[in-house]
Structure 1
Amino acid sequence: MLALLQRDLRLALRAGGGFGLGLAFFLILATLVPLAVGPQPDLLAPIAPGILWLGALLACLLSLDRLWALDAEDGSLDLLATAPVPLEGAASVKALAHWVTTGLPLTLIAAPLSLLLFLPGQALPWLALSLAIGTPALSWIGTFGAALTVGLKRGSLLLSLLVLPLYIPTLVFGAEVVRRGAEGLDASTPLALMGGVTLGCVALLPFATAAALRVNLR
């Protein structure tokens, strides 16, 4: 499992992994929104939680189409299906590698970029906490969606259509956590709900991902 994780991390950091692409997209979005709306704190501060979470969601989406495609192209997927490691474990490792190379960097860079959107300082810990708890759900859901479309040509659009509706609960709860934190309100309820979504994804989606891969390998 550790060797598989190291391999997936190396693949994610090379061409096709989208490691730098996601960060660049997040940076561009946080820069362009003030230019489009206007550098006015009273306009940017209320929409900053939603913009930041939407940027993180779309940045995670950029690299999903290559998650299983590289393994399918070089025959590694067939080897994974017959390896001693359960396919469910391989799916979890793949999702973890995607989170380490995409979700974790976004969590670390979100606080500095939020200053461009005039997010109140009291909301910064809630922003980091919500991204740390919520982005794993994005990676696990994305890994499942990528498994459904691994054998399809031009499956990127279909992948987006499949994954984006499943991202909605995490997006809503994550933005609500940051909004309540910015207003000084109690954010424990949406944070707990988002944590429940993440735990459910981590527990259940590896089995669904493995089942989708077995169907595509037949």
Structure 2
Amino acid sequence: MSSVESPVGAHGGRRAPGFSALLRVELLLALRKRADIANPLLFFVTALALLPLGVGPEPALLARLAPGMIWVMALLATLLSQESLFRGDFEDGSLEQLTLSPQPLYFAVLAKSTVHWLVTGLPLALLSPLLGLMLNLPAAGYLCLLLSLLLGTASLSLIGAVGAALTVALRRPGLLLALIVMPLYVPVLIFGTGAVQAAIDGYAFGPQLAILAAMLAAAAALAPLAAAGAIRICLDN
């Protein structure tokens, strides 16, 4: 019996796996795909490491560019890994099984998005202070950079799930996926970089973080619903 299968329910059939079981299984599956985890992190680190070579090593210039560049690269690294969010499940037929499960598809999408953040967004956020040091980010911006990326990358994972669901049936969805989710990523990028810049300039950055938290709450409530609906439409066609 699979670890996600629960005992027989009161009506004689199997009860749907709980959210914690789905989360645990998705995390175990994600950890087996080490290349999928490493690629976004390598892109994030390599792109930012090349920045001083492209724009020059002047500390003042790097300090001015650091908040925006770290956030942009984190966004692109997150997008890089979104394409495979539902791809494997679609190809092996397990995505269709999830839609037929008594468990609402909302929770399966939420579990997959959460695991995507745990293996992609969380490491990116934890690496950001080190890269900020390399780019001469002022000391006042480190805490805000970490907090804003923790909130922002979680929103990016949830929003990206909608684009991944809409394009799951396509062979090469990369460009279309980017066109779908990029406009939705822009508000997160604006308030994320704005919070870090406010911290560096000595202003209060709490309001920007509060807006990022509100975006995360809205994305957690709405994005899995939209992604679940998109998956059902793609499978019906």
The TM-score normalised by the length of structure 1 is 0.96
Alignment of 1:9-20 (within 5 A): 9-15=27-33, 18-20=36-38
**Cα distance between partner residues in 2 of 1:176 and 1:17:** 32
Q: What letter corresponds to residue 198 of structure 1 in structure 2? A: L
Among candidates 206, 209, 217, match of residue 188 of structure 1 = 206
Q: 2:155 aligns with which of 137, 145, 150?
A: 137
Secondary structure at the residue paired with 2:83? helix
1:18 Cα deviation (Å)?
Answer: 2.2
Identity rate of aligned residues, in percent?
46
What is the DSSP-based 3-state SS (H/G/I as helix, E as strand, rest coil) of the residue aligned with 1:18? helix
| Alignment-derived partner of residue 171 in structure 2 | 153
Once the two structures are TM-superposed, the CA of residue 17 in structure 1 deviates from its matched residue by 6.4
Choose 2-11 or 192-201, whichever is displaced more. Answer: 2-11
Q: CA RMSD in A?
A: 1.3
Q: Which blocks of at least 5 consecutive residues in structure 2 are unaligned?
A: 1-18
Higher RCO (CA 8 Å, separation ≥ 6 residues): 1
C-alpha separation between the residues in 2 aligned to 1:97 and 1:170? 20
Distance 1:70 1:140 in 2: 18
Q: Give the Cα–Cα distance (whole angstroms) in 2 for the partners of residues 45 and 135 of structure 1.
A: 22
Question: Equivalents in 1 of 2:47, 2:129: separation in Å?
Answer: 14
Residue in 2 aligned with 1:105?
Answer: 123
Aligned residues, how many?
A: 218
Gap regions ≥5 residues in structure 1: none
In the other structure, the counterpart of 2:13 is none
Residue 164 of structure 1: aligned partner: 182
2:101 corresponds to which letter in structure 1? A
Which of 84, 96, 110 aligns to 2:114? It is 96
Given residue 82 of structure 1, which amino acid in structure 2 is its aligned partner? Answer: L
Pick the structure with more helix per residue: 1
1:58-114 Cα shifts (integer Å, max 9, x gaps): 110111111111000111101101112210111100100100000000111110111
Match of 1:174 in 2: 192
Using structure 2 for the length normalisation, give the TM-score. 0.89
TM-superposed deviation, 1:147: 0.3
What residue number does 2:69 align with? 51
